[in-house]
Amino acid sequence: MAYLFQQALNALQLGSIYALIALGYTMVYGILTMINFAHGDLFMVGAFFCFLLAVYLKLSFVPTLLFTILGVAMLGVVIERLAYKPLRNAPRVSAIITALGVGLFLENFTLALSPYPKHIPALIEHTTWTIGTVSISSLQILIIVLSLVLMLILDFIVQRTKAGMAMRAISWDKTIVPLMGVPVNKIISLTFAIGTGLGGAAGMMYGLAYPVIDPYMGIMVGWKAFISAVVGGIGNIRGAMIGGFILGAVEIMVAAFFPSTYRDFVAFTMLFILLIVRPYGILGKPHPQKV
Amino acid sequence: MSSFKAAYHTLLAHWHMLTGYKLFWPVFMIAGLAFCVAVDTYGFMDLYLQLILIYVGINIILTVSLNLINGYMGEFSVGHAGFMAVGAYVASLLTVHSFPAGAQNMLFPLAILAGGLGAAFVGFLVAIPSFKTRGDYLAIVTLAFCMIVKSVLENIDAVGGPRGLLGMEKLTSLPWVFFWTALSVWVIRNLVYSNFRRGVLSIREDEIASDLMSVNTRQVKIIAFVVSSFFAGIAGGLFAHALQFINPRMFDILKSTDILIMVYLGGIASISGSIIGAVIYTILLEILRPLGVWRMVFMPLTLVLLMIYRPRGIMGMKEARLFTPLRDITTEKLWRQKKKEAPDASA
């Protein structure tokens, strides 16, 4: 029982990181109907920003987090402006390939600058409480609470503010909304900023939880987060959160009871089956094609 | 500039005259095969250059076969490396474990064929979800498939697990690569100019409409996926026996992206484009080798710029006369003539 509880805590930690990244995928998809395959690599860039700020500028936890989010958000906006905006009216496939290209570029550029894996220093003090046989570290609590806070802030922005209303409107109908005076380009940039900023924050937390970072770390985690977004119903923000926690739980439980090499297999098989049975995800709505 | 243009046009005219001869293809094939056999037996070519030529051939097979799905059928498959992995593992297991040591050279084509058939079977399985899902979601399905293949291979200890598979002899020689490349180009070229072309193109333009026009979309999709994955498997088998070592990590999403770059660089829905794309990309990567890691920075950058400024690639939706059937050329000529005579009639 204690073992199960311990694993549930780990699942919550991993799930909250997946959920944060999945939010970026789902927000961009909701507003542009485009899968931003470079998002996993922006997550990696977040971890590297955190490394730079913590090691070279010797910043403490809170400023590091803020600057990481800010830096990655700016990078996301720049990528959107330079690479995705010229393709907004191009065939969908062009946009997907561009996103794959941007992702590869980020990976290899980081690899060219820093060929060896880096180690992120512990930015907060580690304390571990033991209740019975279950041990809880302060880092775990921090990651879970911080992710939940960020998600609540996001939910507030999307549901309660004017910008959030504009986002939802654009994802509802792209042709009418600009005629109503909604500044579409600004809103898209804002969406990218928020989505990639959350990804950057997730990168930093991942780096704190599993301290060795390398340029290719974003590929697998990015795909996993993407699976979470699809499981929850891509384009649906609450779905992405739920999907992240589901995938985290599934992965940790598979690793807890089977050999851990089956983790990826189970995750991708889950995606495969889900796409065949319920392609619009748990919270998504089916889009029947009209002729 | 104008003299350059004139020279280009005279060259083009000569080229068209040359390719117009009925004997062009047979002579070209025999000469190419003779050249490859000569290089293989007398070895007057650098081994490194030979290896590059082998990779060029393998990449042409991969690109042409992926173009069938991504270019002609307009679906977006990113799982090509997965099919390649299946072919590579099936062929290598046969040559390493099943075939007697003496007869390796004789049985090599069988191993490659078996790899292709194995991949074709898996391609058939992947075609089934494509009935219901399309677009982005089909891309994700093929991607998930690629990842599943990789992690299954990593978890089977009998095929070496994550360490990979060793012990293949170097059986891939230039003549064999030439043969399989020519075969794949020939089959796919004939396929896309057969009646099948109408079905496949109609799926690309509008799947629902083509379904209503009684195109058997399921059959067309199955054929496209099976043929495409068959040749990917063959390329995988050749690749394994050229490198003499495979591991699951070679066939991940990066490999798929490589093939995608070649397809979209050369141009979608074009056989000649695929060949040009594969040749340019493979040779460019070798030329840029001194740049080290930075070469992998420039490649994706090229892809992004290509997508922004020329999203259909070098030969996008166009075909060299070499691969176009004669009746298409004459039809187009007649159409142009008619248009010249009566420009106001909307032809």
Is some CB atom of chain A closer than 8 A to the CB atom of B257?
A: yes
Query: For residue range B169-195, what is the model confidence (pLDDT) as tens digits?
Result: 888 889 999 999 999 999 999 998 888
Distance (Å) of CA B60 to CA A137, B40, B128, B280: 54, 20, 27, 10
| pLDDT on residue B347 | 47
Tokens of A259: 């050999």
3-state secondary structure of A289: coil
Is some CB atom of chain B closer than 8 A to the CB atom of A102?
A: yes
The mean pLDDT of A268-283, rounded to a whole number, is: 80
Is some CB atom of chain A closer than 8 A to the CB atom of B136?
A: yes
A chain contacts of residue B266, beta-carbon cutoff 8 Å: none
Question: Helices (DSSP H) in chain A: which residue ranges?
Answer: 2-32, 39-56, 61-79, 92-113, 138-160, 162-172, 184-209, 217-232, 237-257, 263-277
A chain contacts of residue B148, beta-carbon cutoff 8 Å: 265, 268-269, 272
Q: Kindly compute the dihedral angle of the four CA atoms of residues A240, A242, A243, A245, in this order, to the nearest 10 degrees.
A: 120
| pLDDT on residue B12 | 83
In a domain, residue A287? The reply is no
| pLDDT band for position B229 (cuts 50, 70, 90) | very high
In a domain, residue A253? The reply is yes
Helix (H) or strand (E) holding A119: strand A118-119
| pLDDT band for position A289 (cuts 50, 70, 90) | low
In a domain, residue A282? The reply is no
Is some CB atom of chain B closer than 8 A to the CB atom of A117?
A: no
Tokens of B11: 């060259």
In a domain, residue A188? The reply is yes
3-state per-residue secondary structure call for B78-127 = CCHHHHHHHHHHHHHHHHHHHCCHHHHHHHHHHHHHHHHHHHHHHHHHHH
Q: Which of A104, A221, A230 to mutate to test the interface with B (most CBs of B within 10 A)?
A: A104
Burial category of A203 from C-beta neighbours within 10 Å (exposed 0-12, middle 13-18, buried 19 and up): buried
Helices A61-79 + A39-56 axis angle, to 10: 140
The mean pLDDT of A77-92, rounded to a whole number, is: 88
| pLDDT band for position A80 (cuts 50, 70, 90) | very high
The mean pLDDT of A114-135, rounded to a whole number, is: 83
A chain contacts of residue B81, beta-carbon cutoff 8 Å: none
**Number of neighbours of residue A229 by Cβ within 10 angstroms:** 35
CB pairs under 8 A between A and B: 116
The total number of structural domains that make up chain A? 1
In a domain, residue A289? The reply is no
Could you say which of A35, A97, A227 has the minimum Cβ distance to residue B303?
A97
| pLDDT on residue B63 | 95
| pLDDT on residue A290 | 64
| pLDDT on residue B277 | 92
What is the Cα B270 distance to its own chain's centre?
11
B chain contacts of residue A108, beta-carbon cutoff 8 Å: 293, 296-297, 299-300
Q: Are B177 and B278 in contact (CB under 8 A)?
A: no
Rounded Cα distance between B330 and B319, Å, is 14
pTM of the full structure: 0.87
The number of residues in chain A equals 291
Query: For residue range A189-200, what is the model confidence (pLDDT) as tens digits?
Result: 999 999 999 999
Mean pLDDT of chain A: 88
The pLDDT of residue B36 is above 80: yes
| pLDDT band for position A64 (cuts 50, 70, 90) | very high
Q: Kindly compute the dihedral angle of the four CA atoms of residues A227, A230, A236, A238, in this order, to the nearest 10 degrees.
A: -50
CATH of the domain at A58: 1.10.3470
Interface contact B297-A94, CB threshold 8 A? no
Kindly report the nearest CA distance between residue A49 and chain B, in angstroms.
Answer: 19
| pLDDT band for position A162 (cuts 50, 70, 90) | very high
Helix (H) or strand (E) holding B221: helix B217-243
Interface contact A83-B294, CB threshold 8 A? no
The pLDDT of residue A171 is above 80: yes
Is some CB atom of chain A closer than 8 A to the CB atom of B287?
A: no
Kindly report the nearest CA distance between residue A129 and chain B, in angstroms.
Answer: 36
Higher per-residue pLDDT: B322 or B93: B93
**Number of neighbours of residue A153 by Cβ within 10 angstroms:** 12
Could you say which of A92, A93, A100 has the minimum Cβ distance to residue B257?
A100
Sketch out chain B's domains with CATH numbers: 1-44 (no CATH), 49-316 (1.10.3470)
| pLDDT band for position B344 (cuts 50, 70, 90) | low
Is some CB atom of chain B closer than 8 A to the CB atom of A240?
A: no
| pLDDT on residue A274 | 81
| pLDDT on residue A288 | 66
Most confident segment among A114-128, B226-240, B275-289: B226-240
Residue A184's contacts (CB-CB under 8 Å, 6 or more residues apart) are A170, A174, A177, A178
Higher per-residue pLDDT: B18 or A183: A183
Q: The complex's ipTM? A: 0.80
In a domain, residue A93? The reply is yes
Q: Kindly compute the dihedral angle of the four CA atoms of residues B244, B70, A97, B78, in this order, to the nearest 10 degrees.
A: -50
Backbone angles phi, psi at A35, to 5 degrees: -85, 115
In a domain, residue A66? The reply is yes
The pLDDT of residue A88 is above 80: yes
Could you say which of A94, A98, A111 has the minimum Cβ distance to residue B293?
A111
Interface contact B293-A115, CB threshold 8 A? yes
The pLDDT of residue A70 is above 90: yes
Is some CB atom of chain A closer than 8 A to the CB atom of B18?
A: no
Q: Are B134 and B218 in contact (CB under 8 A)?
A: no
The pLDDT of residue B346 is above 70: no
Is some CB atom of chain B closer than 8 A to the CB atom of A261?
A: yes
In a domain, residue A13? The reply is yes
Kindly report the nearest CA distance between residue A201 and chain B, in angstroms.
Answer: 25
Is some CB atom of chain B closer than 8 A to the CB atom of A276?
A: yes
Domain residues for A198?
Answer: 2-277
Interface contact A279-B132, CB threshold 8 A? yes
Query: For residue range B40-89, what is the model confidence (pLDDT) as tens digits?
Result: 888 778 888 999 999 999 999 999 999 999 989 888 888 899 999 999 99
Distance (Å) of CA A148 to CA A87, A151, A208: 34, 5, 17
| pLDDT on residue B307 | 84
Q: Could you tell me which of A76, A20, A7 has the C-alpha nearest to residue A221?
A: A20
Q: Are A277 and A286 in contact (CB under 8 A)?
A: no
Backbone angles phi, psi at B328, to 5 degrees: -70, -40
| pLDDT on residue B180 | 94
The pLDDT of residue B308 is above 80: yes
Interface contact B297-A92, CB threshold 8 A? no
3-state secondary structure of A9: helix
Which residues are registered as beta bridge partners of A134?
A: A131
Interface contact B147-A264, CB threshold 8 A? yes
